[in-house]
Amino acid sequence: MSLHATIERVTDRIRERSHKTRPAYLEKIARAAEEGPRRAHLSCGNQAHAYAAMDDKGDMATTRKPNIGIVTAYNDMLSAHQPFERFPDVIRRAGHAAGATVQVAGGVPAMCDGVTQGRAGMELSLFSRDVIALASAVALSHDTFDAALYLGVCDKIVPGLIIAAGTFGHIPAVFIPAGPMPSGLPNDEKAKVRQQFAAGEVGRDKLMEAEMASYHSPGTCTFYGTANSNQMLMEFMGLHLPGASFVNPNTPLREALTVAGVERAAAITRLGNDYMPAGEVLDEKAFVNGMVGLMATGGSTNLVIHLPAMAKAAGVLLDIEDFHDLSAAVPLMARVYPNGLADVNHFHAAGGLGYMIGQLLDAGLLHADVKTINGTGLDGYTAEPKLDGDRVHWEPGAKDTLNDKILRPASNPFAPTGGLKQLDGNLGRGVIKVSAVKPELHVVEAKARVFSDQEQVKAAFKAGEFTEDTIVVVRFQGPAANGMPELHSLTPTLAVLLDRGLKVALVTDGRMSGASGKVPAAIHIAPEAAHEGPLSRIQDGDVIRVDAVNGTIDCLTEGWETRDPAPFDPSNSAEGMGRELFAAFRAHVGPSTEGAAVVV
């Protein structure tokens, strides 16, 4: 199948937009690669320090053995990262068997958005992505690694690791996932209890019981939020081994895939014949493929922020118009919670990413001619990993969906588009995800209620103040204001209002979660209110129209734009929970439409 015209057009536009930055980037990583194995340039004293603790250090200055560095996001605060505790030992054994040496180069922080939702700590969440990139740079700064293994799964961790992999683009990069936890309490039942608690119909004991039954073991949360969207992305972009994303932790297949990932890392260094530097994998086509995967699966809106920052680290410049145009061309092929009742384990069993990649390739909606850690070409990612003893091998993947209530072919999708729209109007630019929103809510025109934080919204709800159709404006939530925390804790409150028959939408310069679901939410609005963007001039009673059909967001009240901007009070986010340490980040962060980044 020839490449779809929209895929080709968007790729060409990105290539043209990046016509200066991408060649300069490739020249930079080529210069780094030309120096050969980096450790050969270290002094004897440098090397003695670097290898003093290794049991098999040998003569690292002259050996042809590749030295693999592990950058790990392990902690046992995150269920998704807890399995990584034992990965270094597995990786060392696999590396030695493959004729390589292995060192843990360094660790990176990994916070849990599920713990910090609605709390002050969430204001560090987005910035943690840049901290992860910085910490990874420190880990790799020892200049002694021929390849890097990146162990990370969740929301900001993978994007931060990708920024590092792009920055150290001369080093091959293999991403090693840990997999989702087994299915627990169905996500729709958990969401129902959350709404019942928000409405005062059940007590905290029932809420806690439901939450603990849902999040119950090591592994990624099973809904299709940002963490699992990250895993999809790594497979579509060729940085995982085929089929690796959604294999459960602590299983023989999971360990065999980890071993295979180590073997692949050892094989693609500059010391061998299959050199595959990360910077060559991370090209325009790879990022387009990642965006296509995001649309086809109904993935997290957080990636609309992360992908531009990730791409910029590799000299590729993305814009939200790219997401919009690709979404219009790519069918929604999956229904995974919050876009459906299934979780990622059900999705994987129905044929998963391998089936989707095959379908999208056949439809001309993916670039097939890409470089991946698995070799050249994306068609290898249609295969399914299987165990043969304790080794993994790949067999042809599913050609037909095994459950068409979860996964459908590109020719008969759940929806003809990916459901992500760019919004542009007199209130600024942003995005809205409508794949789980009822069609009658794709256009909402109503009076505004204006708030400066999500707690004010909850207080107004408890006071019974929402009695008519309403546009809930939550401003001063952008990256420069308070680090752009997710406003996911508003979802149950606003969902209750929808269930009462009101037409309600959220407008914010902040973020929602990958699990934002059925509430129409115009998010990432830029310029943000803290920079005197249009939202700073909105008042209670102004009529706002959020139109996901035509891609517009406008205030319809005459004369609103001539008002003085509402003053921004930074004191609420200036200190506590480490926020004082991030003042420089808030002062220098870029706009959300360009990735809300500090380091790229």
Contact 492, 139 (CB under 8 A): no
> Looking at the predicted structure, is the pLDDT value of residue 580 above 80?
yes
- List pLDDT tens digits, range 460-490: 999 999 999 999 999 999 999 999 999 888 8
- List pLDDT tens digits, range 526-559: 999 999 999 999 999 999 999 999 999 999 999 9
The strand pairing partners of 471, in sequence order, are 448, 505
Both tokens assigned to 241? 């081994």
Q: Which residues contact 270 (CB under 8 A, 6 or more apart)?
A: 33, 36, 37, 146, 277
pLDDT at 315: 98
Give the angle subtended at the CA of 250 by the CAs of 247 and 254, to the nearest 5°.
40
If pLDDT is split at 50, 70 and 90, which confidence band does 389 have? Answer: very high
The DSSP annotation for 218-244 comes to: SSB-SSSSHHHHHHHHHHHTT-SPTT-
pLDDT at 60: 66
Give the separation between CA 276 and CA 270, rounded to whole angstroms. 8
Contact 333, 14 (CB under 8 A): no
Distance of CA 185 to the CA centre of its chain: 24
CB atoms within 10 A of CB 438: 10
Residue 221 assigned to a binding site: yes
Residue 44 assigned to a binding site: no
- List pLDDT tens digits, range 315-357: 999 999 999 999 999 999 999 988 888 999 999 999 999 999 9
Work out the average pLDDT over 379-408.
96
Contact 94, 259 (CB under 8 A): yes
Task: Report which listed range, 112-126, 200-214, 216-230, 396-410, is most confident.
Answer: 396-410
pLDDT at 46: 81
CB atoms within 10 A of CB 259: 19
3-state secondary structure 274-291: CCCCHHHHCCHHHHHHHH
Give the separation between CA 48 and CA 284, rounded to whole angstroms. 40
Work out the average pLDDT over 195-217.
83
Give the separation between CA 72 and CA 155, rounded to whole angstroms. 15
Q: Which of 228, 222, 220, 244 is nearest to 79 (CA)?
A: 220
Work out the average pLDDT over 88-99.
96
pLDDT at 58: 63
pTM of the model: 0.94
Work out the average pLDDT over 172-176.
98
